[in-house]
Amino acid sequence: MLPILRASQRRLRPGSRVAIVSPSSGAPELFPHVHDLAMQRLQSELQLILVEYPTTRQVGATPRERAADLNAAFSDASIEAIMATIGGDKLPFLDSGMIAKNPKPFIGYSDNTNLLNYLWNDNGGNFELHPVSEFSEDEQSWNDAAWSNPNGPQPSPRQASTGRHLHQPDRAITSPIWGGNLETLNWNLAANQMSSAAYVFRTLRNAGERGLLAQFSAVLVGRPKASNIEIQPTSEQRMQYRQEQREAILKAFSYYNPDAMNAFDVDFGHTDPQWILPYGGMITVSGPQRPIIAHFG
């Protein structure tokens, strides 16, 4: 059984050395202009020292080679945090004993749910996840030459946020966080970024049949992403899609955990901007007062 890991409470500062890894695929080799712009911003705006590994820009690297990079980053005492360039697989060659002895923050989302479940990290301080006033969800092609410009391409169009939607906000709950990208959780249990309401319900129903949904006092649902590079729905279609998602989730919990509090359209996940959550750490959802507080430490 893997140990429950506790991340170091060191905070990044100018001059901190940060590992840059590609746990899933070497996409930076295919889209170097996008990757280089991200690296330039991390260096110029945060003054971080970035350390790339052999497979960071290598398409076709084997799982053993990608795992070797992660093992090396965790074992190197000079590395203070690890950032993933793209989604991450659960790799079979990770050294869990060594990683448990060398905890440090790992930053990634989407398919990195695999690695976050493996690491189960938490790391100091409290941070309120304020609702954003506007967000974007429309994708831009990584082949766009504008990524080579110092400022990158024009930002995606923004749309007004309708705020959060809370179901049964009658109490305050503080509890550890578990979860992640729905489709990746489905892999772990055995939704993509634009899962149908039926897919969402069936995935949660399957979790409910295993007794998982009954274990949660509260549920945070990221704002559903309602567009992609190929599909650009109207505003009305996007609103309908999100409403159907909420209804599917409430339907599943009405069967398997009707007393759970549900908070919808919390700003984490695949829309922009995104709040960072301390995976495996503590979070407080206060229904009557409505704030959501992430406890880093």
| Angle CA 109–50–12, to nearest 5 | 70
Mean pLDDT of 1-8: 35
The more confidently predicted of residues 6 and 228 is: 228
Q: Which of 9-18, 40-49, 199-208, 237-246 has the lowest mean pLDDT?
A: 9-18
Band of residue 48 on the pLDDT scale cut at 50, 70, 90: very high
- Distance between CA atoms of residues 173 and 149, nearest Å: 46
- Of the chain, the percentage scoring pLDDT greater than 90 comes to 28
The confidence score (pLDDT) of residue 51 equals 97
Average pLDDT, the chain: 81
Q: In what order do the strands lie in the sheet with 261-266?
A: 165-167, 261-266, 218-222
The more confidently predicted of residues 78 and 182 is: 78
Per-residue pLDDT at 226 exceeds 60? yes
Per-residue pLDDT at 4 exceeds 50? no
The more confidently predicted of residues 176 and 72 is: 72
CATH classification number, 126-295, choose in 3.50.30.60, 3.40.50.12780, 3.40.640.10, 3.40.50.300: 3.50.30.60
The confidence score (pLDDT) of residue 3 equals 31
- Distance between CA atoms of residues 241 and 235, nearest Å: 10
Taking the chain, what is the end-to-end CA distance rounded to the nearest angstrom? Answer: 24
The more confidently predicted of residues 148 and 185 is: 148
Per-residue pLDDT at 95 exceeds 70? yes
Residue range 52-85, pLDDT digits in tens: 999 999 998 998 999 999 999 999 999 999 999 9
CA torsion through residues 27, 30, 34, 40, sign: positive
CA torsion through residues 219, 200, 4, 269, sign: negative
Please indicate whether the domains covering 17-119 and 126-295 agree at the CATH topology level: no
The confidence score (pLDDT) of residue 88 equals 65
Q: Which of 94-108, 119-133, 218-232 has the lowest mean pLDDT?
A: 119-133
The confidence score (pLDDT) of residue 10 equals 60
The confidence score (pLDDT) of residue 248 equals 93
Mean pLDDT of 235-250: 92
Mean pLDDT of 5-24: 77
Per-residue pLDDT at 19 exceeds 80? yes
> Residue ranges of the domains in the chain?
17-119, 126-295
Residue range 119-175, pLDDT digits in tens: 764 334 455 666 777 877 777 776 777 777 777 777 788 888 887 777 888 888 887
Per-residue pLDDT at 252 exceeds 60? yes
Q: Please name the residue that has the structure tokens 């990584």.
A: 142
- Architecture per CATH, 17-119: 3-Layer(aba) Sandwich (3.40)
The CA-atom distances, in angstroms, between 47 and each of 74, 103, 202 are 21, 22, 45
Cβ atoms 219, 260 nearer than 8 A: yes
